[in-house]
Amino acid sequence: MTDPSVRTRPAEDGSSVARLVALSDGIYAIAMTLLVIDVAIPEHLDDAAFHHALKDVLPNLGAFALSFTLIAGFWRDHRRVLTGLRSGSTLVTRVTLLGLGLVALLPFPTALLAEYASQPDAVALYAGAMAAIHAVHVALLLLTQRQVHPSAASAEATDRRRFTARLAAGALVFVLSIPLAFVDTNVAMWFWLVLIPARHLARLRPSRQ
């Protein structure tokens, strides 16, 4: 007779992946919302003080826009990573939770970047957090590649490998910007724009089996 626990295991695995996706959506939404907390202007200011406060809040708006854009991209990438995953594993769950912990922490380095963009430590910490999240997504892709696409020769598997290369390129850009931050923080932050051509080139790069 077949063990009932064996029969129900696939459904439990599938539901566990669904719960992991739902948890991820919630944490990403909270992290994106918390970014705006530091964007505020005191009440009851006179005209001169208001314009001064408005000028002072611009770095916070810039850091908010940057982090919101990146977190939105991370959320989209994260859902794509888990798409097609029929069953989870303890390792996949732990790696996913590590990535979610880093995402939940992002409002902190974002606030540091807004207030202390001239400090190398603040820029390096922000870049390190971004690189770590990219690396977690790369690890998840590698862990689930064969389960999602058993045939390495399929077009879908090739596309997923290119996706992995794109995320790895993003991690590399942020890692390289960390030592640059201790030379010139402005150069390090401008270097993040390399993400655009780096990801594009990684997407076009032929994927070897």
Each residue of 108-133: pLDDT tens digit? 999 999 889 899 999 999 999 999 99
Is 83 contained in some domain?
yes
Region of 88 please: left (phi>0), alpha (psi -120 to 50) or beta: beta
Is 185 contained in some domain?
yes
Is 45 contained in some domain?
yes
Is 147 contained in some domain?
yes
User: Please, are residues 138 and 98 in contact by the beta-carbon 8 Å criterion?
Assistant: no
Is 209 contained in some domain?
no
27 or 145, greater pLDDT? 27
CA distance 59 to 37: 13
- Name the pTM for this structure: 0.81
Dihedral sign of CA atoms 54, 58, 60, 62 in order? positive
Domain range for 115 is 4-204
pLDDT at 99: 94
Band (14; pLDDT cuts 50, 70, 90)? low
| Angle formed at CA 47 by CA 46 and CA 50, multiple of 5 degrees | 80
Each residue of 184-209: pLDDT tens digit? 999 999 999 988 887 777 666 544 44
Alpha helices in 35-106 (DSSP H): 47-56, 58-82, 90-105
Q: What is the DSSP string of 9-32?
A: HHHHHHHHHHHHHHHHHHHHHHHH
The number of distinct structural domains making up the chain is 1
CA distance 74 to 136: 11
